[in-house]
Amino acid sequence: MQPTLKSKLPNVGTTIFTVMSQLAHEHGAINLSQGFPSFSPPAELTDMIGHYLKHGNNQYAPMPGVLTLREAIAEKTRRFQGRTVNAETEITVCSGATEALFSTIQAVVRRGDEVIVFDPAYDLYEPAIQLAGGICRHVPLGLAAGSLDFIPDWQQLEESISNKTRLIVCNFPHNPTGAILDSTDLDRLASLVRDTGILLLADEVYEHIVFDENTHTSLLSHEELWPRTFIVSSFGKTLHATGWKIGYCIAPAALSAELRRVHQFTVFAVNTPIQNALAEYLGSDPGFIDSLASFYQQKRDLFCRLFQGSRFKLQPARSTFFQLVDYADISAEGDVDIARRWTREIGVASIPLSVFCATPTARRLLRFCFAKDDATLTDAVERLRALS
């Protein structure tokens, strides 16, 4: 008898990032779709990795991560967020933010639990919630009429909380809109969860890429939120190394212990030589992280300037290496179709915003990754401007 496999995720196709990158590749298009930098990680760091590959320990790392790396993460957390966390019990090194998010959701969500995400929502949350047997509730970020400034709608969040709510996923700095939170937002969030058992999952992978006068206000820095929060970050974004797949989760000891129960059977441990090199590199205090925001701000400014005087509309992103661009004055075509067509016809690939939203949107928005060299960005925008 031929076994039949009933899908556990029947509504999930291949992730849009793979789809668009593949299409860009097939058509030789400039790939501003999937978010990855075209820059190299710091040379000192890659030299250190080479050293540890040749002379270091190439066997299993400790399950929660190499201790010296966890200590370096604790120091970074103290310096940037002002909180002292325990490297032994409160930090877990994971295989990218992806595994940290996935393992956390599996550790926390039970059958029938509700999990709230803000739309547009990064595409891994809902499938991970479904695999855990949970139900994903979508709360759209607010968008004032005529504006492209996305902001959390706390009123709607309040209305979406029920006695089944187990977890709220807070991805700020937000992919793809660049929305960020301030301390007033965190106070509001605290007031909404105060008398509940709701846990929080803060996906803060863009913590070091925040622009202008804005600052990143981590859930970790909030006295009332910290005891119920898993904070996830990724060295992929911070060190131009998305291919290394190393991230981490910081959470109070009792929460970290539950995450580790899953992490140990998902990947067990993350590769040893890169962990050793990261520990040494972060410990040497290279200043790379401090200059990351201004580096990307120049990219953002260039990318936005290149559109000036065109019929594309945009509001400079407050954070991340993504810029939303409104093409409503150029075409009425849906974003999924136009993203594909422009990849094929003008050779510029982007990500349609609607794939991150549960409810169809009438907005005509595409997400472009500006983590590219200036010539690539200039070429891409020239091609787009030729349309208008």
Q: What is the Rg, in whole angstroms, of the alpha carbon atoms belonging to the chain?
A: 21
The single residue among 41, 96, 134, 152 that binds ligand PMP, judged by CB under 6 A, is 96
Residues in contact with ligand PMP, counted by CB under 6 A, come to a total of 14
**Of 123, 254, 255, 118, residue with least CA distance to 189:** 118
Q: How far is the CB of 249 from ligand PMP (least distance, A)?
A: 11
∠ CA 221-230-320, rounded to 5°:
70
Residue 203 binding: pick among ligand PMP, ligand GLN, none (C-beta 5-8 Å cut-off by kind): ligand PMP
Residue 17 binding: pick among ligand GLN, ligand PMP, none (C-beta 5-8 Å cut-off by kind): ligand GLN
Residue 353 · residue 324 · CB < 8 Å: yes
Residue 335 · residue 353 · CB < 8 Å: yes
The SS3 assignment for 151 reads strand
Stretch that binds ligand PMP, among 85-93, 106-114, 239-247, 310-318 (CB under 6 A): 239-247
Residue 264 binds to ligand PMP (criterion: CB under 6 A): no
**Cα 284 to Cα 165: distance, rounded to the nearest angstrom:** 43
Cis peptide upstream of residue 120 (ω within 30 degrees of 0)? yes
Beta bridge partners of 52: none
Residue closer to ligand GLN (CB basis): 17 or 154: 17
Stretch that binds ligand PMP, among 6-14, 55-63, 91-99, 148-156 (CB under 6 A): 91-99
Helix (H) or strand (E) holding 293: helix 292-306
Pairing of strands 229-234, 247-250: antiparallel
Sign of CA dihedral 87, 92, 94, 96: negative
Stretch that binds ligand PMP, among 92-100, 110-118, 140-148, 323-331 (CB under 6 A): 92-100
The single residue among 17, 39, 154, 295 that binds ligand GLN, judged by CB under 6 A, is 17
Pairing of strands 351-352, 365-369: antiparallel
Residue 208 · residue 216 · CB < 8 Å: yes
Helix (H) or strand (E) holding 278: helix 272-283
> Would you give the binding string for ligand PMP spanning residues 124-163, x where CB under 6 A is met?
----------------------------------------
Residue whose token pair is 């004055």: 329
Stretch that binds ligand PMP, among 127-135, 241-249, 304-312, 378-386 (CB under 6 A): 241-249
The single residue among 35, 37, 41, 134 that binds ligand PMP, judged by CB under 6 A, is 35
Residue 33 · residue 351 · CB < 8 Å: yes
Residue whose token pair is 């990680």: 41
Residue closer to ligand GLN (CB basis): 234 or 256: 234
Residue 175 binds to ligand GLN (criterion: CB under 6 A): yes
The single residue among 24, 31, 34, 65 that binds ligand GLN, judged by CB under 6 A, is 34
Residue closer to ligand GLN (CB basis): 293 or 353: 353
Residue 329 · residue 313 · CB < 8 Å: yes
Residue 242 binds to ligand PMP (criterion: CB under 6 A): yes
Residue 312 · residue 388 · CB < 8 Å: yes
∠ CA 63-229-103, rounded to 5°:
40
Residue 64 binds to ligand GLN (criterion: CB under 6 A): no
Q: How far is the CB of 387 from ligand PMP (least distance, A)?
A: 28
Residue 41 binds to ligand PMP (criterion: CB under 6 A): no
Residue 178 binds to ligand PMP (criterion: CB under 6 A): no
Residue closer to ligand PMP (CB basis): 272 or 310: 272
Torsion angle of C-alpha atoms 110, 114, 118, 122, degrees rounded to 10: 30
Q: How is residue 53 written in tokens?
A: 């590959």
Residue closer to ligand PMP (CB basis): 108 or 330: 108
Residue 171 binding: pick among ligand PMP, ligand GLN, none (C-beta 5-8 Å cut-off by kind): ligand PMP
Residue 119 binds to ligand GLN (criterion: CB under 6 A): no
Residue 37 binds to ligand PMP (criterion: CB under 6 A): no
Residue whose token pair is 């129960």: 261
Contact positions vs ligand PMP (CB under 6 A): 35, 96-98, 122, 171, 175, 203, 205, 234, 236, 242, 245, 247
Contact positions vs ligand GLN (CB under 6 A): 15, 17, 34-35, 175
